[in-house]
């Protein structure tokens, strides 16, 4: 299930420190409802086996935290950090694992949790790396999907919301490490 964007204002939110937000794209209550639904969908999709929920840091940490508490079955959690920017501000297209999961992946059902799917470059490379480790299954769960990734080679099995093609922040998503702490997802001006 996906949701449409509903305009609203974040005027007066002291967490913004006077920074301009065009609108709230997804409010706190909508996010909580959708995360609970995703938890039920994931619980149903993985009735048995060793489930490893693998969060892609930093953007997924809040979503992953809320999501795993909604999954009603045993699971493990680990993280990975990937970089495609090096010292620049434009993606190099080369994805490097900065932090590799410590958990053994072979034979496990792996659910890779991402904050937002946009270009798909990082996901393509990570999925290839993870598949080489012989998991039982490997799927993607994304809070947001912009549906603009022409080169994405892998389906996103679980999607929280279809996202507008705007620069979004909050609920883990950032701009220069700011805004991650917002309980809603907003579009920057």
pLDDT per residue as tens digits for the range 63-116: 999 999 999 999 999 999 876 544 443 444 566 666 667 788 999 999 999 999
* pLDDT > 50? residue 46: yes
Mean pLDDT within 31-57: 96
pLDDT at 171 over 60: yes
Residues with catalytic roles: 118
Q: In the predicted model, what is the mean pLDDT of the chain?
A: 84
Mean pLDDT for the stretch of residues 24-44: 97
Predicted confidence (pLDDT) at residue 53 exceeds the cutoff of 50? yes
Phi, psi angle pair for 21, to nearest 5°: -120, 125
Confidence of residue 142 (pLDDT cuts 50, 70, 90): very high
Element (H, E) at 131: helix 121-131
Fold of 18-84+94-105+118-154: Rossmann fold (3.40.50)
Beta strands in the chain (DSSP E): 21-26, 51-57, 76-83, 96-99, 109-117, 137-145, 158-162, 168-169, 185-188
Predicted TM-score (pTM) of this structure:
0.84
Other beta carbons less than 10 A from residue 13's beta carbon: 15
């Amino acid at each position: 299930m996906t949701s449409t964007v509903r305009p609203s204002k974040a005027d007066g939110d002291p967490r913004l420190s006077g920074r301009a937000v065009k609108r709230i794209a997804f409010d706190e209550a909508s996010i909580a409802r959708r995360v609970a639904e995703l938890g039920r969908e994931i619980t149903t999709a993985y009735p048995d086996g060793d489930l490893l929920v693998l969060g892609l840091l930093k953007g997924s940490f809040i979503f992953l935290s809320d999501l795993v508490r909604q999954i009603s079955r045993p699971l493990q959690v680990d993280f990975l950090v990937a970089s495609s920017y090096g010292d620049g501000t434009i993606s190099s297209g080369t994805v490097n694992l900065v932090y590799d999961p410590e958990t053994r992946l072979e034979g496990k059902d792996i659910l890779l949790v991402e904050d937002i799917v946009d270009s798909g470059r990082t996901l393509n490379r990570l999925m290839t790396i993870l598949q080489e480790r012989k998991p039982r299954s490997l799927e993607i769960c994304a809070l947001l999907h912009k549906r603009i990734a022409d080169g994405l080679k892998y389906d996103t099995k679980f999607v929280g919301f279809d996202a507008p093609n705007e620069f979004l922040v909050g609920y883990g998503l950032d701009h220069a490490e700011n805004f991650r702490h917002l309980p809603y997802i907003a579009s920057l001006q």
